[in-house]
Amino acid sequence: MMKTNLFRFIWMVLIPVLLLSCTTSTSTSKLISIEDYTFARSGDGDQLIPVDDPAVFKRGEAVHLVLQNVGPFKKDASGLNWFDLDMEIIGPDGEVLLSQTGLLGDGGHVALENNKAETPFATCTTNPDVAPGVYKFKLTIYDKIGSGKATQTASFTLE
């Protein structure tokens, strides 16, 4: 009887943990966290316009994945933070269509208020000839001074 109760208790505790871990799309290290994210489209000038969920774009349109309040990042001896971004676009068939690393380079070597990047983003400009469907945008942000990194994967639709 005690073994049965112990087994039920373990089962009741582990199943919700496993289910919750399967539904999240953010992989966050102990050192860096991503508060939230949104998709955006290009507006006037350099302005980005948030897109409602589910994110739907037209083929040929630029797709921006914007992370929100990411950090904390470590500072170097000169008092600057240094972060960078890697991006992958995965097609409806699961094939990696685009993979780029080090998108920011030296541009990510800046002083961040409270050691957090407020709205870092990456952009994928789609081609009008690409097939319609559901695509995945994978964005990894990492601390070049510390060892932390976090990954956000989100789906968008091209019509």
Give the Cβ contact number of residue 43 at 10 Å: 10
pLDDT digits (tens, 9 = 90+) for 111-158: 999 999 999 999 999 999 999 999 999 999 999 999 899 999 999 999
pLDDT at residue 30 in the model = 56
pLDDT of 55 higher than 70? yes
Widest Cα–Cα separation across the chain: 69
Q: Domain 26-158: which topology?
A: Coagulation Factor XIII; Chain A, domain 1 (2.70.50)
Rg of the chain (C-alpha set): 19
pLDDT digits (tens, 9 = 90+) for 57-103: 999 999 999 999 999 999 999 999 999 999 999 999 999 999 999 99
Residue 12: phi, psi to the nearest 5? Answer: -70, -30
Tokens of 14: 């582990």
Where in the chain are the domains? 26-158
**Digit-coded pLDDT (tens) for 5-35:** 333 333 333 333 333 333 334 444 458 999 9
Q: What pLDDT is stored for residue 147 in this prediction? A: 87
